[in-house]
Amino acid sequence: MVPFHLDPGRAALLVIDMQRDFLLPGGFGESLGNDVSQLRRTIEPLAAVLQAWRAAGLPVIHTREGHRPDLSDCPPAKLRRAPDIGRPGQFGRILIRGEYGHDIIDELAPRPDEPVVDKPGKGAFYATDLSDILEKLAVTQLVVTGVTTEVCVHTTVREANDRGYECLVPADCVGSYFPSFHQVGLEMIAAQGGIFGWVADSASVIASLGAKR
């Protein structure tokens, strides 16, 4: 496999959908019968990477999946598969922008200077300004973190790969409600010499930042 060499001058940290609706006990994710502890295990290592990344002065971009209050940006097919979108939940209307549950958990709250990309789909590039943000930052590498491994993380890595970005996924900074999906998702990213990207861990990312500094 071709090795991945982090170039801090060309890299951004992408934090995908670390939202209360997905991670908090009593939220939307748990209401579907999911074990949110499978996602919450990512918070500590991701917070450590985030702290190191900020200390190095590198760009951080957050995403949130959700929809306008009138659901005008929610395709009917998606709403049929997920009819709870827009309905009242413990933390406000589910996956609706501006609601408490739609926002990012306190432990990973964005700083005022960090862009937050609101996306209506699974991938972070679809119907968003992420490409423009990365182009202005002259970014060619993405360290991709967040949830869930096999859905929004995977979709975003695939989108990024097609756009020419090099993606590194720290395994302990991404999570799924289903451990088997998480493992297979990571294996798919790194298969065949890195068909979509590279997989490492948070300690390696932090150590690499220290070495570059």
Residues with catalytic annotation?
Answer: 17, 119, 152
Helix (H) or strand (E) holding 88: strand 88-89
Q: How far apart are CA 2 and CA 45, in angstroms?
A: 25
Burial 102-126 (b: 16+ CB within 10 A, else e): bbbbeebebeeeebebbbbbbbbbe
Cβ 167 vs Cβ 197: under 8 Å: yes
Neighbours of 149 (CB within 10 A): 29
Cβ 184 vs Cβ 151: under 8 Å: no
User: What residues contact 212, with CB distance under 8 A and at least 6 apart?
Assistant: 6, 8, 56
Q: Is residue 13 left, alpha or beta, with left meaning phi > 0 and alpha meaning psi from -120 to 50?
A: beta
Residue count of the chain, please give it.
Answer: 213
